[in-house]
Structure 1
Amino acid sequence: MDQQKCFKCDGDMQAFLKGSSSQSVKAPKPSSSSSSSAGEKKQRAVPWVEKYRPKCVDEVAFQEEVVAVLKKSLEGADLPNLLFYGPPGTGKTSTILAAARELFGPELYRQRVLELNASDERGIQVIREKVKNFAQLTVAGSRTDGKPCPPFKIIILDEADSMTNPAQAALRRTMEKESRTTRFCLICNYISRIIEPLTSRCSKFRFKPLANDIQQERLLKICEKENLQYSKEGIEALVRVSEGDLRKAITYLQSAARLNTEREITEQIIIEIAGVVPAKVIEDVLQICYRGHFEKLEIAVKDLIDQGYAATNILNQLHDVVIEEKLNDKQKSVITEKMAEVDKCLSDGADEYLQLLSLCSVVMQQAIHNT
């Protein structure tokens, strides 16, 4: 029991617990309004990504395998060590947080869950001190609602692929030694950056990019709850620019709603907010390449940069268009190889104008050979 008291008083651990400040402070309740209106006022200050985050495992979208395993584990009030990997915005963090809430209930959730993100220091010292100390503490007690409460805690290491190799090696021993009192959930985008001894100790689940119809369904529900006016083309553009990332789609939707309080959300508004280059602009640049006018190409590329379009966005959209163009396979391979070089140079901080001009020159060269 002394260990339990120590656990409750550990101020350092509480600083990492999810939502410790935002959920504990309640707005003063006006005497003339109902509790529901007070709750709505509190929710308005929360980003929609958090407001519509799944509250239980059943609300997680499109990840059927993960949901099925977690539901079985929740029925027995037990969990294995977990490793969630996949693209951003597919529900990895939301899933484990929802599972933890169902396991422990709202009262014990803050005491039993430690979440460390990439914004925290992720070296070996953190694993040796904070993670190890939290894992060693025993827990006891029961839920107030009478449901079974598992005798373990959960440590969530978000973006675990950013951890150093020595830190991952130190975590391996902690996972094995503290298996009686603690379960670990590692979350990452690239499983190849997690060392093999860690992956072998976890049940691995791949999170898939959300299908377009699933994203569209979720976005329409949010539009309905927020009383937003929207066009069909606007929602389709939202799904298209988010590329399977539901978090990005919801963020764009909220930005569009704040930008246009009285008008409907259209395709043009979404394109402007997402920073996507209009398809006509890309097509005009390609037409200049096909005609072989280098002077005009210089002006067109400079105009693209001057308008503030991101070079990486231009590169991605050019890739999608070039793949569909009437060029032979050899010409497409030459262009896409150059795109890979340009992408690497841009990530290293090279000049955007020179890189895009170099790429468009290769496209022009291949187009002239095609004619």
Structure 2
Amino acid sequence: SNYKNLNIRDIRNYPITKAKRNIKKIAKLSRDERSELDEYMSVVFREVKAARKLRGQSGDPNRSQLLQEAISLFASTITVSDELVKILVLDEADALDNNMQQALRRTMEIYSDATRFIFITPSLSGWHPAIISRCLVVKFRAGSKKVLRDLVQDIADKENVEIDESGLNAISRESNGDFRRAINLLQVSGSTGMLVNEDVVYEYSETPLVSEVREIVSLSLAGKFIRARQKLRSLLALERYSPQKVILAIQAEFVNRPLENNVTSKALKRIAEIDFRMTQARNPFIQLEALLASLGNLDSEEMD
């Protein structure tokens, strides 16, 4: 194929344990249980693993390496049709950090004769000037909530997806004027065949990281530190999430939780302290452990 659409956040949040599955194992699953991304990430994982082995490196690749290979793998392959130029669309490209943008710039330069890159991003903030200078910038205004709701309702009617008022409101809030995200939320929420309401939208709008962090925070607040610590270790060691992404997810969880103002302020203050310590410490896991341990004492005076 000379066209591919990759969602950067989907790849960054893709579980390492799922990427380890080989194609034969994935092929045994039904079409409802596997996706094109599952098959692609399995190939990407094997390519990165083989490249690391050639360099004498052991262990599994991290998420940044998988993301870089997911982009360069398609860009570097030879076209098999009369169309000599391939199109690679990177959706939610704002999720690329500075290091990944540097690697992307090199990839663009190496394969510019064979591949054209299209980046979809909500803003240019945080983008490296070297990449912006190589692109033609096309800006679209965010739509109003009414236009977005009407669009979602129209698509739902045409696709025979049953959605109620709470579902429309939830999609409108979660997408925040982003039409692409609104359509994606409707698609995944409507795939169940059930009524799309507020609960269904919120269930399917969660990433694996958000879901795991929510459980970690709940366990910590309930004083179940050992179980919370085990899940934290799994996120960092098995799923290879960076400590920075985990603490940002914890911060977002407290912002969205319906807690008393004094509890939320204490938690955010503690998170800020741990975030600063992580920049100075040699072992961020120990700092995150300390954060989880302190969350069980939010109501006590010790946190003041």
Instruction: Give the TM-score, by structure 1 length.
Output: 0.38
Instruction: Give the TM-score, by structure 2 length.
Output: 0.44
